Amino acid sequence: MNRNPLIPFLLIAVLGIGLMFLLSFKGLGDHEKLANGGEEEKAEDLANATPEELYQQAGCIGCHGENYQGQGSAPSLIGAGERLGVDGIKKTIQEGRGAMPGGLIQDAEQLDKMAEWVSKLK
């Protein structure tokens, strides 16, 4: 009836090492999928998004606010169509202005929709 007290610790160690190798190989297999798949899904989501969804997904909401009122250094988008016009809004989205980075929307069709939508905010 003498049991070796090291056997449970040995079993746990072997199980842990085996699990570590298994998860490592699983991670290596998923590495390429995660590296490429995330960008494709994000681009696909943005391509089919409405201007309101683009506003939220592209991060505009963080600076311009939920009600487009502007926060901190970001100006209000309400009445931007009267101030800048559709072409001015499009140029600002493409090139950026002040603290706003340019190129947040790459697709030309989405850029046109976004500029038109922002110009109509009142």
Percent of the chain with pLDDT over 90: 11
Return the minimum-mean-pLDDT range out of 11-15, 37-41, 86-90, 110-114: 37-41
Give the CA distances from residue 53 to residues 16, 32, 80, in Å, rounded to whole numbers and listed in that order. Answer: 45, 28, 19
Could you tell me which residue, 49 or 17, shows the higher pLDDT?
17
Residue with tokens 């190798």: 21
Domain chopping of the chain, boundaries: 1-48, 51-122
Average pLDDT rounded to a whole number, residues 84-102 = 85
Judged against a pLDDT cut of 90, whether residue 16 lies above it is answered with yes
Judged against a pLDDT cut of 60, whether residue 40 lies above it is answered with no
Query: Distance between CA 33 and CA 21 in Å, rounded?
Result: 19
Question: What is the b/e burial string over 75-93, where b = at least 16 CB atoms within 10 angstroms of the residue's CB?
Answer: bebeebbeebebeebbebb
Q: Topology of domain 51-122, per CATH? A: Cytochrome Bc1 Complex; Chain D, domain 2 (1.10.760)
C-beta of residue 51 within 8 angstroms of C-beta of residue 39: no
Which residues partner with 38 through β-bridges? none
pLDDT for the residue 15: 96
